[in-house]
């Protein structure tokens, strides 16, 4: 052996220039790797490492006093970041109210106004863009979400060969996302809305994987909301600004709906395809729709029991195509289907549910 | 030699540890940038697009028009000009009104020729302009029922009248009675990229490129970076010639 340094010496390890250099190089490399690995910590600002924040309890375990203090802390943080004093409050669920949504697929034209009204209302990140609502464009004839496209970009909508299906959080009565949460940061409120405690979420994204509707969004980057675009009307469980690394999703605009107002996506819909209301009130919009329309839910086989219903108008020419000519086979078939009694259909020509063709 | 071999290997391992750590550090710093999914610029949304105001402003009741700075109602002219005597389609005034309302292609189906300030029902009964839904009900009975129940049409305000005012619109505040079908709209820009890997990347070949939406989106984005991301402007330029 030419090099005596590398042979095991009898009297323990010898310190040579080579071993010192090698050790120094490895230590420097190791430190560099460690520093790079922990470098995201540099992005933390002082609001993220406060004792109050660290010791804050879960939303459901906080006493009213603790809740007030948490709200004040968050409001101060928001004011520091956005230079606007938010009206941050905590709105509890109302008694005897169960929110539900119904969407008329025959009316929706896929204009995406709801998507952006939601972004503006709920302080979602603009860059990178976080959107709660996805509008699917589906070929006419079936509800086949495998053939849906949510990146459609046409000069004008609606396209005559397609129909449009906005998908957002379905506020399931049997929510898979709540079951998988390892820290119980998401739960179902008494009014049926599944909410997230953004301060309790650890960002594991299990709920995102569990949701069959792709309704949950993760903040991969620090959300950016322009100061002048911040919606200052906010509640703890709904649209207060989120941080990087937490989940968020549609919450039926709790800051509006628990104060009695309609959700933002509904008010902006130019064709009135969206309906919202209290499922337990028999006179509400959604209760009327469930009573009088043929309602479907998306991915019924997942047994999620959504509180978000889709329906088609029974008699709307856009969905029916051209009406069959009177006296034709298709027309008689349609009559026998609608009237159910062939004799009655024979005696009342052209008197089907749709009226004369 | 047999005794020296382990120590040579140890020397090699020790010599490689420094570069290994350094490349690990480089990967921690620049790795995320290399594997980031191509996501385009966020959408620009004009505030006007998110207006919740009614789409149309309606005429008054009775409808008025400003002629030489005098406010006139329909009958001010139509007590002289007898519309019933003129053949349909030969209009002196109102030539800009284009009637595209299905089989309903006669003015007198809705307008009351005896009193042009009002609308007319099947039996000749008059309906004022503010009661227009009663006129539409003549043919659109099912939709009128829905509207009465509160499940047709655009609403805003409170979700129940117990908690505040509910603003409901009448038929002609959304639909032009002469062209009741809604005009086509320009959709707002789609999501510039996937919010999750499960969503897939936007198709570059337009909306009709299903083969590009299949498979593993991350792998596809890395293999074909030119096929992903927001190429709205490129596509617009491409379509021009």
* Closest Cβ opposite residue B7 in set A6, A22, A102: A6
Phi, psi of A150, rounded to the nearest 5 degrees = -105, 10
Task: Name the closest residue on chain A to residue B24, using Cα atoms.
Answer: A33
pLDDT category, A194, cuts 50, 70, 90?
Answer: very high
pLDDT averaged over every residue in chain B: 77
B100 vs A: CB within 8 A: no
Of the listed ranges A23-32, B40-49, B106-115, B154-163, the least confidently predicted one is: B40-49
The neighbouring-strand residues paired with A247 are A218
Question: Which residues 137-166 of B are in CB contact (within 8 Å) with A?
Answer: 142-143, 146, 149-160, 163-164
C-alpha span between A136 and A215 (Å, rounded):
13
> Where in chain A are the domains?
45-86, 99-312, 329-357
Cβ contact A150:B190 at 8 Å: yes
Cβ contact A63:A56 at 8 Å: no
Task: Determine the average pLDDT of the residues in A47-60.
Answer: 87
Of the listed ranges A153-162, A328-337, B5-14, B230-239, the least confidently predicted one is: B230-239
C-alpha span between A118 and A355 (Å, rounded):
39
Q: Residue B189's closest CA among A151, A125, A273?
A: A151
Phi, psi of B229, rounded to the nearest 5 degrees = 80, -175
C-alpha span between A307 and A318 (Å, rounded):
26
Q: How far A341 CA sits from the closest chain B CA (Å)? A: 22
Tokens of B102: 């299905």
Cβ contact B75:B142 at 8 Å: no
* Closest Cβ opposite residue A116 in set B50, B154, B210: B50
* DSSP character at residue B163: G
C-alpha span between A77 and A75 (Å, rounded):
5
pLDDT category, A314, cuts 50, 70, 90?
Answer: low
Task: Determine the average pLDDT of the residues in A294-308.
Answer: 92
Q: Write down the pTM of the prediction.
A: 0.77
* DSSP character at residue A83: S
Is A208–B196 a contact, with Cβ atoms under 8 angstroms apart?
Answer: yes
pLDDT exceeds cutoff 90 at A43: no
Q: How far A286 CA sits from the closest chain B CA (Å)? A: 8
B186 vs A: CB within 8 A: yes
How confident is the model at residue B241, as a pLDDT? 38
Q: Bigger pLDDT: A220 or B238?
A: A220
C-alpha span between B58 and B174 (Å, rounded):
9
Tokens of A46: 């002082």
Task: Name the closest residue on chain A to residue B167, using Cα atoms.
Answer: A267
Q: Residue A112's closest CA among A166, A156, A159?
A: A166
Helix/strand/coil (H/E/C) assignment for every residue in chain A: CCCHHHCCCCCCCCCCHHHHHHHHHHHHHHHHHHHHHCHHHHHCCHHHHCHHHHHCCCHHHCCHHHHHHHHHHHHHHHHHHHCCCCEEECCCCCCCCCEEEEEECCCCCCCCHHHHHHHHHCCCCCCCCCCCCEEEEEECCCCCHHHCECCCCCCCECCCCEEEEEECCCCCCCCHHHHHCCCCCEEECCCCCEEECCCCCCCCCHHHHHCCCCCCEECCCCCCCCHHHCCCEEECCCCCCCCCCCEECCCCCHHHHCCCECCHHHHHCCCCCEEEEECCCCCCHHHHHHHHCEEECCCHHHCCCCCEEEEECCCCHHHHCCCCCCCCHHHHHHHHHHHCCHHHHHHCCCCCCCCCC
Tokens of B182: 């809604």
B185 vs A: CB within 8 A: yes
pLDDT exceeds cutoff 70 at B217: no
C-alpha span between B70 and B64 (Å, rounded):
10
Task: Determine the average pLDDT of the residues in B123-150.
Answer: 90
B51 vs A: CB within 8 A: yes
Select the residue from A20, A95, A135, A153 to test the B interface by mutation, using most B Cβ atoms within 10 A: A153
End-to-end CA distance of chain B: 75
Tokens of A123: 């302080």
Task: Name the closest residue on chain B to residue A155, using Cα atoms.
Answer: B186
* Closest Cβ opposite residue B154 in set A153, A217, A272: A272
| pLDDT tens profile A114-163 | 999 999 999 999 888 899 999 999 988 888 888 888 888 888 888 888 89
Q: How far A279 CA sits from the closest chain B CA (Å)? A: 11
Q: What is the CATH architecture assignment of A99-312?
A: 2-Layer Sandwich (3.30)
* DSSP character at residue A66: H
C-alpha span between A126 and B44 (Å, rounded):
10
B223 vs A: CB within 8 A: no
Cβ contact A240:A78 at 8 Å: yes
Cβ contact A250:A276 at 8 Å: no
Is A113–B50 a contact, with Cβ atoms under 8 angstroms apart?
Answer: yes
C-alpha span between A184 and A206 (Å, rounded):
12
pLDDT exceeds cutoff 60 at A322: no
Task: Determine the average pLDDT of the residues in A309-324.
Answer: 60
B29 vs A: CB within 8 A: yes
> Where in chain B are the domains?
57-174, 195-241
How confident is the model at residue B106, as a pLDDT? 82
Q: Residue A123's closest CA among A47, A262, A229, A198?
A: A229
How confident is the model at residue B198, as a pLDDT? 67
How confident is the model at residue B235, as a pLDDT? 39
B189 vs A: CB within 8 A: yes
Q: How far is CA B51 from CA A119, A264, A268, B42, in A?
A: 14, 11, 6, 20
Of the listed ranges A54-68, A159-173, B117-131, B193-207, the least confidently predicted one is: B193-207
How confident is the model at residue A69, as a pLDDT? 94
């Amino acid at each position: 052996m030419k090099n005596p340094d590398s042979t095991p010496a009898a009297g323990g390890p010898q310190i040579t220039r080579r071993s010192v250099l090698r050790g120094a190089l490895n230590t420097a490399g190791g430190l560099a790797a460690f520093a790079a690995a922990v470098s995201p910590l540099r992005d933390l600002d002082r609001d993220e490492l406060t004792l109050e924040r660290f010791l804050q309890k879960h939303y459901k375990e906080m006493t009213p006093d603790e809740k007030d203090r948490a709200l004040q802390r968050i409001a101060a943080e928001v004011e520091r970041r956005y230079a606007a004093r938010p009206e941050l409050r905590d709105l509890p669920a109302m008694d005897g109210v169960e929110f539900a949504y119904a969407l008329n697929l025959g009316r929706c034209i896929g204009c995406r106004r709801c998507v952006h009204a939601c972004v503006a209302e709920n302080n979602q990140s603009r860059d990178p863009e976080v959107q709660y609502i996805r509008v699917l464009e589906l070929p006419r004839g079936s509800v086949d979400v495998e053939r849906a496209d949510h990146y459609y970009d046409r000069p004008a909508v609606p396209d005559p060969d397609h129909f449009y299906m906005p998908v957002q959080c379905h506020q399931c009565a049997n929510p898979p996302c709540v079951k998988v949460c390892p820290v119980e940061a998401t739960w179902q409120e008494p009014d049926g809305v599944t909410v997230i405690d953004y301060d309790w979420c650890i960002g594991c994204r299990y709920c995102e994987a569990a949701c069959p509707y792709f309704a949950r969004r993760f903040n991969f980057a620090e959300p950016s909301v322009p100061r002048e675009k911040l919606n200052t009307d906010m509640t703890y469980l709904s649209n207060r600004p989120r941080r990087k690394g937490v989940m968020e999703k549609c919450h039926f605009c709790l800051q509006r709906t628990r104060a009695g107002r309609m959700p933002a996506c509904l008010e902006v819909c130019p064709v009135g395809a969206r309906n919202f209301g209290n499922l337990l009130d028999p006179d509400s919009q959604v209760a009327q729709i469930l009573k009088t329309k043929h309602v479907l839910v998306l991915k019924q086989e997942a047994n999620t029991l959504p509180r978000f219903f889709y329906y088609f108008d029974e008699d709307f020419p856009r969905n029916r195509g051209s009406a069959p000519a009177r006296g034709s086979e298709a027309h008689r078939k349609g009559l026998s289907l609608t009237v159910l009694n062939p004799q009655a259909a024979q005696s009342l020509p052209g008197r089907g549910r749709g009226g004369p063709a | 030699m047999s005794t020296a071999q382990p120590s040579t290997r140890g020397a090699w391992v020790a010599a490689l540890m420094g570069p290994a750590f350094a490349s690990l550090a480089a990967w921690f710093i620049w790795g995320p940038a290399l594997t980031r999914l191509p996501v385009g610029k966020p959408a620009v949304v004009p505030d006007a697009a998110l207006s919740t105001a009614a789409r149309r402003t309606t005429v008054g009741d009775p409808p008025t028009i400003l002629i030489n700075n005098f406010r006139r109602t329909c009958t001010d002219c139509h007590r002289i000009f007898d519309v019933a005597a003129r053949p349909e389609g030969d209009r002196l005034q109102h030539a800009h009104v284009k009637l595209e309302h299905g089989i309903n292609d006669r003015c007198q189906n809705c307008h009351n020729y005896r009193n042009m300030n009002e609308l007319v029902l099947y039996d000749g009964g008059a309906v004022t302009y503010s009661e227009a839904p009663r006129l539409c009900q003549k043919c659109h009975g099912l939709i009128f029922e829905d509207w009465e129940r509160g499940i047709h049409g655009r609403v805003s305000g409170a979700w129940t009248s117990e908690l505040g005012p509910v603003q409901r619109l009448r038929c002609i505040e959304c639909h032009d009675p002469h062209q009741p079908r809604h005009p086509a709209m320009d959709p707002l820009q789609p999501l510039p990229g996937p919010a999750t890997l499960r969503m897939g990347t936007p198709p570059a070949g337009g909306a009709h490129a299903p083969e590009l939406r299949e498979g593993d989106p991350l792998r596809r984005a890395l293999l074909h970076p030119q096929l992903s991301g927001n190429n709205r402007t490129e596509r617009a330029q491409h379509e021009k010639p």
